[in-house]
Structure 1
Amino acid sequence: MIRINQLKLAVDHTKEDLLAKAAKLLRIPVKEIQSYEIIKQSVDARKKEEIHFIYSIDIETKNEEAVIHRAKNVNVIPAVKKEYQFPESGTETMINRPVIAGAGPAGLFCGVMLARSGYRPLLLERGEDVDKRRLAVDGFWNGGPLNPGSNVQFGEGGAGTFSDGKLNTLVKDPLMRNRKVLELFVEFGADPSILYINKPHIGTDVLSGIVKNMRKEIIRLGGEVRFNSLVTDVLMKDGKIFCITVNDREEIPADALILAIGHSARDTFHVLERRGVPMEAKAFAVGLRIQHPQEAINRSQYGEAAHEILGAADYKLTHQCKSGRGIYTFCMCPGGYVVNASSEEGRLAVNGMSYHKRDGINANSALIVTVTPEDFGGGSPLAGIAYQRKLEEAAYLQGKGNIPIQLYGDFKRNCSSNTFGDVKPALKGGYEFTNMREMLPDYISESIIEGVEAFEGKIRGFRRQDAILAGVESRTSSPVRISRDDAFESRIRGIYPCGEGAGYAGGITSAAMDGLKVAEAIARRYKSFSF
């Protein structure tokens, strides 16, 4: 195969245009291209009047070495294919099947890989299956009661199920785990374009079907998936796990427990602390969500002639404040919604969510400021959880149980809002006008204002006075890191901290990749079971 990089085409090009340009670069007739594969597609929008797609593609043709030599182009090179390799099974005997706590991306991908290698995992999810969970969440958004066990944070698919479903990651990937994760997503129902577009996403509506298909695969291969099954205790002997308790009544023997519990499993963190599992407080970020008209973001990013093919534009912005703190946008949701993402009674948190088509009227993203253990006070590894809860309690009170909202101009003036401007809200859940400056520490509020003003230089209209703020965004990542060694194991042997909740990931893809890492560690150590 021949790899062609930096292949530039107009956004309205056809397949024939792509092949014709590739053939021209290779100095061969189009008919000699036997097959091709798109490896990467990105958008070059630096010149708004002339936006292009940039491709890397692999071409199969005759006499490839001679064709590369004749092309005399630095962007025409031999294609080197690398594939992910799951390790062969180890030699140590596992008496009890591995137990996975949590059916988010880390737990599901770990479960699929273990099931496919003959380990018959038991996957325990504290929430409901994705269909029942969606009904519970919709009911909550429409004014019904919060289900603390099954909500935006908990249930099959994890918190990422009610998000934009972004699959990009900054994690370096020499072993091709990222590629494997994307291939599995496609296998279980995602559009194949996620394998090559620069910023792939799935959308909450499509993710629901994918996680169900992953569950069915685990079961088909001899594994088991249980819902409404919360790990309420972890029992150890001689520095090693031997049993877990589920729902305070059922004891399950365990040689290996994969803790893929998610960043909001606060009760489980308390259990682990009480049992002496080593962990530490870590930095995370908090702030608010901001909404702008998606059309305005499109114009700023793509120009007046934004092409429909490009879809809803996104952005990623950072700023270093005068105070030394950093503020940045996070989990940007093109054409999306701000949602009530609460999971505890008397506390309120928000998140962003998009459907696959990203066709909502607004863009939204989190405006978040990094906070560190120095901000939390106290020496407990769970001090960050207490910090989050304090903010969420204030948000709940300010919003009277609904999402607190405020126009940016009023936030800057430190006064409550009482009506919308030209920006209309795109929210899932009830809302209440308020002054969110009263619930945030001054260093957060001041950083948000400085950041929004600075971001105006990158996105025209970002600081518009009627942009809608909502809060509080407090679940950006885990406030805790559960310690593990190079074999992905806790000092309490048999416990494998995994994914975002354990402090080793920051999104769907990185969590799924961490699930693969832990599955590999268990496979390298233990023999698999026979079917």
Structure 2
Amino acid sequence: MLRLTELKLPLDHEEAALRAAVLARLGIPDDALLEMRVFRRGYDARRKSAIRLIYTLDLVLRDEAAVLARFAADPHVGPSPDTRYRFVGRAPERLARRPLVIGAGPCGLMAALVLAQMGFRPVILERGKVVRERTKDTWGLWRRSELNPESNVQFGEGGAGTFSDGKLYSQIKDPQHHGRKVLEEFVKAGAPEEILTVSKPHIGTFRLVTMVESMRATIESLGGEYRFNSKVADLLIDRAADGARQIRGVVLEDGAILESDHVVLAVGHSARDTFAMLEKRGVYLEAKPFSVGVRIEHPQGMIDRCRFGDFAGNKTLGAADYKLVHHAGNGRAVYSFCMCPGGTVVAAASEPGRVVTNGMSQYSRAERNANAALVVSVGPEDYPGGPLAGIDFQRRLEEAAFEAGGRDYRAPAQTVGDFLAGRPSAALGEVIPSYKPGVTPTDLAALLPDFAVAALREAIPAFDRQLKGYARPDAVMTGLETRTSSPVRVRRGADGHSLNTHGLFPAGEGAGYAGGILSAGVDGIRTAEAVARSMLGLAVDQAA
């Protein structure tokens, strides 16, 4: 099979035009093209008057060798890579101890699935509830300002990604095509098949819920076991005479002990009490950079027109997104993050007395506003004090947001015009904020670090030069966005084990090794492979 990349056609091209373009590009007759499959389809909207679709195609040709020889120097023509997934091994008939997976988010879910497919019958420990019960609790915060600290946007089956746009693309290096495995498993679980081909696939919250349930059923059918409302309170660690540390199991909050020599730690970026327990138990941790800021909302129609011009509303293009970066004069990076076309800003707190924002979209992306995190980079130099100092930094911001919002989980908000002018907002304009339980107009500059305020005030006008209307005075900023990524990294070695605790496998966003559903899923696969190699006594795959 041959792969052809960067084949560009007009947005409104006829179906037959794609085949004709392939024949013309390769200089072959029609009967020489035996099969054609779209591997990826994206678009180029840099010229709004002439938006083009960009195809990556896998082709079966009558004389592939001759075509490859003619195009040997062409970087866009070559053999198709083999993206089939291959398991690293199979579990023995009898297992002395089953592996444990802590956390049922995208990373833990894929780790558990791959371990189950290899026959290791993992036990999945989730501190929160099954996804549908968790959804009810989450709506309890959004509709009634009632927060359940163990069942919310952050905690419960499916992880934080369940209440998001369901984006399934990433810029991680993936030489083994594990991302393809993630997408294929999602399609088996009920995701639309288009996620295998479009360049920026997404699912949306409602479909994610049913997918998570389907994948749980698959894992259980393969011998895996789920335990919900099972918060891990402690680790069992053996110490050898030479000081080496070996995991032997976990202790649950109710006192139950589960023994295992292989524990996947896939807890997500908001498991602050778990990080404190890890520090207490001497697991190697370090502070890492993350970002803080606000959610910014604009009318989705305005973003569509800015990005697509007269093609705004085109069904093939869908709701427009954007990605913006500005390097401020004070040395800070300001960037858009987790952009949700046609979505809503949601309450994402997991601790009482603190306000956190996030973004979410359904599959249709049909809500009136576009929203994105607009955030500023921070690092350990901004919060000195040890590996957990970043958590304290986050908490101070979240507590200030809770106070400014009115102490009832409403969020502080401000118009862009008022923020740039340096005055508190007393009222909002035509852009209606989507955040529930509601917002309180105030002065966001009083809640953020001075360097973040300065960087944002410089960046927003710069972004307006790229997307006209970005700095419109009545665009709404809602605060605060503090959970962009984990403030902690749980360091691991090339073999996947914790640097100083053998048998503990830090993974995913919480451990500092992923940022989004797809990358977390990929890291879950890599971690499952590391566990399998350890349990089977196989050599580490350095290519991973």
Q: TM-score, normalised by structure 1?
A: 0.95
Q: CA deviation at 1:450?
A: 0.9
Quick one: which of 333, 338, 341 aligns to 1:326?
Answer: 333
Partner residue, 1:263 = 269
Query: Is 1:200–2:201 an aligned residue pair?
Result: yes
| Contact 2:433–2:439 (8 Å) recurs in 1 | no
Partner residue, 2:242 = none
- Residues 17-40 of structure 1 show CA distances to partners (whole Å, capped at 9, x for unaligned) of 212322333444545533221122
Partner residue, 1:421 = 429
Q: CA deviation at 1:79?
A: 3.1
SS of equivalent to 2:331: coil
Partner residue, 2:19 = 19
What code does the residue aligned with 2:98 have?
Answer: R
Q: CA deviation at 1:132?
A: 0.7
Partner residue, 2:481 = 473
Partner residue, 2:540 = none
Partner residue, 2:54 = 54
SS of equivalent to 1:476: coil
SS of equivalent to 1:429: coil
SS of equivalent to 1:481: strand
Q: CA deviation at 1:422?
A: 2.2
Separation in structure 2 between the aligned mates of residue 73 and residue 50 of structure 1, nearest angstrom: 29
Partner residue, 2:303 = 297
Partner residue, 1:353 = 360
| Contact 1:92–1:526 (8 Å) recurs in 2 | no
Quick one: which of 320, 324, 334 aligns to 1:317?
Answer: 324
- Residues 107-143 of structure 1 show CA distances to partners (whole Å, capped at 9, x for unaligned) of 0000000000010000011111111111111122111
Separation in structure 2 between the aligned mates of residue 477 and residue 93 of structure 1, nearest angstrom: 39
Partner residue, 1:509 = 518
- Residues 40-77 of structure 1 show CA distances to partners (whole Å, capped at 9, x for unaligned) of 21111121111110111112232233455678993444
Partner residue, 1:42 = 42
Partner residue, 2:381 = 374
What code does the residue aligned with 2:18 have?
Answer: L
Deviation larger for 471-480 or 518-527: 518-527
Partner residue, 1:213 = 214
Query: Is 1:396–2:402 an aligned residue pair?
Result: yes
- Residues 260-298 of structure 1 show CA distances to partners (whole Å, capped at 9, x for unaligned) of 000000011111111111101111110011001111111
Q: 1:99 to 1:79 in 2, by over 3 A?
A: closer
| Contact 1:321–1:451 (8 Å) recurs in 2 | yes
Q: TM-score, normalised by structure 2?
A: 0.93
SS of equivalent to 2:465: coil
Q: 1:93 to 1:478 in 2, by over 3 A?
A: farther
What code does the residue aligned with 1:7 have?
Answer: L
SS of equivalent to 1:34: strand
What code does the residue aligned with 1:45 have?
Answer: A
Separation in structure 2 between the aligned mates of residue 348 and residue 489 of structure 1, nearest angstrom: 34
Unaligned runs of 5+ in 1: none
- Residues 222-266 of structure 1 show CA distances to partners (whole Å, capped at 9, x for unaligned) of 010111110011121212122311123211112111110000000
Q: CA deviation at 1:494?
A: 1.3
Partner residue, 1:449 = 457
| Contact 2:428–2:441 (8 Å) recurs in 1 | no
Q: CA deviation at 1:388?
A: 0.4
SS of equivalent to 1:301: helix
| Contact 2:32–2:63 (8 Å) recurs in 1 | no
What code does the residue aligned with 2:36 have?
Answer: Y
User: RMSD over aligned Cα, in angstroms?
Assistant: 1.9
Q: 1:144 to 1:25 in 2, by over 3 A?
A: same
SS of equivalent to 1:322: coil
Partner residue, 1:383 = 389
Q: CA deviation at 1:91?
A: 8.7
Partner residue, 1:521 = 530
Separation in structure 1 between the aligned mates of residue 441 and residue 26 of structure 2, nearest angstrom: 61
| Contact 1:91–1:526 (8 Å) recurs in 2 | no
Unaligned runs of 5+ in 2: 240-244, 538-544
Quick one: which of 334, 339, 342 aligns to 2:346?
Answer: 339
The total of aligned residue pairs comes to 527
Separation in structure 1 between the aligned mates of residue 284 and residue 69 of structure 2, nearest angstrom: 57
SS of equivalent to 2:489: strand
What code does the residue aligned with 1:345 have?
Answer: P
Partner residue, 2:288 = 282
